[in-house]
Amino acid sequence: MKWLYQRLKSYEHLFEKGAKFEKLYPLYEAVLTIHFSTTETTKRGAHVRDGLDTKRFMILVVIALLPVTLFGIYNAGYQSYLAAGMTGSIIDYIIKGVIIFMPILLTSYAVGGLWEVLFAIIRKHEINEGFLVSGLLFPLTLPPTIPLWQVALGISFGIVVGKEVFGGTGKNFLNPALTARAFVYFSYPAYLSGNVWTSFMSGQSVVSSYSSATPLGIAANTAQPNNAMTAISDAGFSLMDCFLGLIPGSVGETSVLLCLVGAAILIGTGVGSWRTMVSCVLGVVAMAGLFNLVATETTIPFLEVTPIWHLFIGSFAFGAVFMATDPVSSPDLNASKWIYGFLIGVLTVIIRAVNPAYPEGVMLAILLMNIFAPLIDFYVAENKVKKRIPNAI
């Protein structure tokens, strides 16, 4: 690989200060450092440095996302076949899934990357690896039927308004992928609710036994005196189906099992905060438990949904593992993460159960808590300062 390195290095003079392509230096830097590690040595401070850099940090998130992504592709194809009443081999499902999902993913990366590069060149900052994660997270939260122009608009809003206007990765206070998703959700509600969760094959009629409703949608639409959980079971979704994930839904969010695999990778490598994940679960359990206690035959049926169902349906698992743990938009301090995660769990259940307009509460809960993260940090830090013996002049 030495020849490639020397080749890349031989172009460096074109991008240096005062040279012809000076403005494109961030692009050159990104291409070089994606291929080869930097040969920079320490100038000040500690003479030795840790091997971990932001590239590795972000790539580990992408690796943790691979299981849900691959499964999402398979499931998108599988649901499509199921809806048409056909059966195919695993290969057929995967090919169909790739055809459904790849255009969404590529649009997201291409348009998001364009904005990232544009801002890097104009604002003269490096191209940040964080976009590799945002560009993958966003498509995973979308239904397979999403029009590509909405993907492009959504990721543009997420990258520009959610991140770049504040100065880029590290200075944003909202999760860019969720900002993108929220933009699409509120701008084009028809495309993100109703029968959008399965990509139907053209020329094939949908078999009558197939319902493309998600368990969450079913629970939200249950009317008294029916029981929400019975309604989900009657629609053919067992708790196990929801756990394994072979059900309609957003591409990446259906499988709780594979979200757990992702969580194991994130926690094992120290990239994701286990505190946030655990406290999210605790929040859901606490709030759903509380609702179960007050639920009667005259209250909203969603109040009766038990904690375990709350944890397994919708995109809670995906949100808690991959979205809530985004280090930039979550609070800095470990103690704050407990509060932050717990409130995400609580808000998720409240929004799901009490607000019938938004059956999926995770997205809004996380975005809302992103906004409160600095406030939580402030009080936790003040509390820490109180315990210190003052040292000031």
Partner 1 sequence: MKTLNRIKSKKKFKITFDGQPDNALSVIPTPNEVGLSPVNYKFIKAKVIVKVGDAVQKGQALFFDKKNPQVYFHSPVSGVVKDIVYGPQRRLEQVVISECSDEKALQFQAFDSSNATQLQVVSALLERGLFNEFRSRPFNNIPSPEEKPSSIIVQLSNPEPFHARLSAVIDDVEADIIEGLQLLNKLTEKVIAFADANEQMNLDAIATHSQLVRVDGDFSICDSASVLYKLKEDAAENNAWTCDWQSLVKIARTLKSNEYYNQRYIAVGGNQKDDNQHYQIVEGTPVANIITKKESSDRLIFGGLFSGVHTSHNDYVPLQSDSINIIDSDPQAEFMSFLQPGFDKPSFTTAYFSGFLNQFRPTPVSTSVNGSERDCVSCGHCEAVCPVDTLPQTMLRNIKGNDVEEAMRFGLLDCSNCGVCTYVCPSKIDLSSIFADAKAKLFEEVNA
Q: Is 170 in the site for partner 1 (CB under 8 A)?
A: yes
Q: Please tell me the distance from the alpha carbon of residue 264 to that of residue 257, in angstroms, as a whole number.
A: 11
The angle that helices 256-268 and 274-294 make with each other, rounded to 10 degrees, is 140
Which of 21, 36, 149, 186 is the binder for partner 1 (CB under 8 A)? Answer: 36
Contacts of 142 (CB under 8 A, 6+ apart): 104, 151, 154, 181, 184, 192, 250, 251
Q: Is 264 in the site for partner 1 (CB under 8 A)?
A: no
Residue 286, exposed/middle/buried by CB under 10 A (0-12, 13-18, 19+)? middle
Tokens representing residue 372 in the block: 């409160």
Tell me how crowded residue 276 is: count the other CB atoms within 10 A of its CB: 27
Residue among 286 and 328 whose Cβ is closer to partner 1: 328
Q: CA 144, 148, 154 angle in degrees (round to 5)? A: 95
Contact status: 348 vs partner 1 (CB under 8 A): no
261 binds partner 1 (CB under 8 A): no
Q: Looking at residues 312 to 331 of the shown chain, list those that interact with partner 1 (rule: CB under 8 A).
A: 327-328, 330
CB-wise, 235 or 381, nearer to partner 1? Answer: 381
Q: Which of 60, 174, 256, 324 binds partner 1 (CB under 8 A)?
A: 60
Between the alpha carbon of residue 300 and those of residues 148, 276, 356, 364, the distances in Å are 36, 29, 9, 20
Q: Is 123 in the site for partner 1 (CB under 8 A)?
A: no
Q: Is 44 in the site for partner 1 (CB under 8 A)?
A: yes
Binding part of the chain for partner 1, among 80-88, 277-285, 340-348, 376-384 by CB under 8 A, reads: 376-384
- In 3D, which of 85, 64, 89 has the Cα closest to residue 74? 89
42 binds partner 1 (CB under 8 A): yes
Cβ 52 to partner 1 shortest distance, Å: 5
Query: What is the contact surface with partner 1 in residues (CB under 8 A)?
Result: 1, 4-5, 29, 33-42, 44-57, 59-60, 125-126, 128-130, 167-171, 268-271, 273, 327-328, 330, 332-334, 377, 381, 384-385, 388-393
